[in-house]
Amino acid sequence: MQRQQSGFTLVEIAIVLVIIGLLLGGVLKGQELVNSAKVKNLANDFRGISSFVYAYQDRFRALPGDDRAAATHVNNGTVATTPAGSIGNARINGNWNSVAQTDESYLFWQHVRLAGLATGTPTVGNADYIPRNAEGGTIGVTSDAVLTNPGTPYPASFYVCSQGIQGRFARQIDTTLDDGNTQTGAVRVITDGSANVADATNVTAANDAVLYTVCMSF
């Protein structure tokens, strides 16, 4: 007696392939949504921090960090003493990634927090004092030059810089906020974690996994 051979029919195989395709499509779409949300979060950091500066300036007629009357303006705020002779010059001096607790750029965060403009601890030296972006990199502000010898001018009243950002996200941020070129315009990309560099970096698809610092001028 001949035994009947068991197996999948073409219809069953087609159904399985369709289901697999739908699952893969869902996973990829989900990842795309996660990445889009991350880029939006990273981009919002630049917009939000700039609003802190303008709101503080409008209220106290001084820049946060550079405010010589911070002790009275924002409930015992600390007045910066470094960089030497720069306090009250209408510039937020000091490296954007400074960890010197007397620097204007470092005390920027205390001033905007005590003024009720930003969340976070105003206690200098606290482990959570320096804010972080969606990628876990630190964020900072400075009026000092981020590019020391740029191919195209990069002037600003101040710069907001955010580090530890993958190249693919850096390119998307530039497209979202600026001209899509990481070497020109308001948004530019530099070596990750650097206080300043000679010129911005051209980030291409080949650099998608490399970490960079993204800066925006205001």
150 residue type, one letter: P
Residue 145 located in a structural domain: yes
**176: how many CB neighbours lie within 10 A of its CB?**
15
Q: pLDDT value at position 10?
A: 72
Total domains, the chain = 1
Task: For the beta carbon of residue 37, count every other beta carbon within 10 angstroms.
Answer: 11
Residue 31 lies in a domain: no
Omega of the bond prior to 83 within 30 degrees of 0, cis?
yes
pLDDT value of residue 15: 77
pLDDT band at 201 (very low <50, low <70, confident <90, very high): very high
Res 13: pLDDT: 73
- The whole-number pLDDT of residue 14 equals 74
Domain range for residue 141? 40-217
Tens of pLDDT, residues 116-149: 999 999 999 999 999 999 999 999 999 999 999 9
As a dihedral over the C-alpha atoms of residue 51, residue 105, residue 156, residue 119, rounded to 10 degrees, the angle is: -10
**Residue 120: inside a domain, yes or no?**
yes
User: What percentage of the chain reaches a pLDDT higher than 70?
Assistant: 90
Asked if residue 86 is part of any domain, the answer here is yes
**Tokens representing 43?**
């981009």
- Is the pLDDT higher at 212 or at 8? 212
Q: Is residue 105 part of a domain?
A: yes
Q: Render pLDDT for 149-176 as a digit per residue (tens, 0 to 9).
A: 999 999 999 999 999 999 999 999 999 9
pLDDT tens-place string over residues 8-52? 677 767 777 777 766 776 665 556 656 788 999 999 999 999 999
Query: From CA 162, how far away is CA 138, in angstroms rounded?
Result: 6
11 in any annotated domain: no
Beta strands in 104-204 (DSSP E): 139-142, 159-166, 187-191
Q: Per the domain annotation, does 1 fall within a domain?
A: no
- Is 35 part of any domain? no
Q: Is the dihedral of CA 80, 83, 87, 89 positive or negative?
A: negative
